[in-house]
Amino acid sequence: MKIEVIDNKGENTGRKIDLSNRIYKVEPNEHAVYLEVKQYLANQRHGTHKARGKSEVTGSTRKIKKQKGSGTARAGSIKSGILRGGGTIFGPVPREYGFDLNKKVKRLAKRSALSAKAAEKKIRVMEDQTIEIPKTKVFISILRSLKMEVDKALFITGNVNDTAAASARNIPNAKVISANELSTYELVNADYIVLFESAVDIIENRLN
Task: Return d(Cα 84, Cα 156) in angstroms, integer.
Answer: 55
Strand-pairing partners, residue 116, are: none
Residue 15 resides in a domain: yes
Task: Return d(Cα 177, Cα 162) in angstroms, integer.
Answer: 9
Per residue of the chain (208 residues), give pLDDT as tens: 888 898 888 888 888 898 999 999 999 999 999 999 999 999 999 999 999 999 999 999 999 999 999 999 999 999 999 999 999 999 999 999 999 999 999 999 999 999 999 999 999 999 887 777 888 888 888 898 888 888 899 999 988 878 888 888 889 999 999 999 999 999 999 999 999 998 999 999 999 8
Residue 44 resides in a domain: no
Residue 38 resides in a domain: no
Give every strand in the sheet of 153-157, ordered side by side.
12-18, 2-6, 123-126, 192-196, 153-157, 174-178
Residue 83 resides in a domain: yes
Residue 153 resides in a domain: yes
The CA–CA distances, whole Å, from 185 to 16, 69, 189, 190 equal 28, 62, 6, 9
201 shares a domain with 156: yes
pTM of the predicted protein model: 0.82
Range of the domain at 85: 52-93
Residue 163 resides in a domain: yes
109 shares a domain with 203: yes
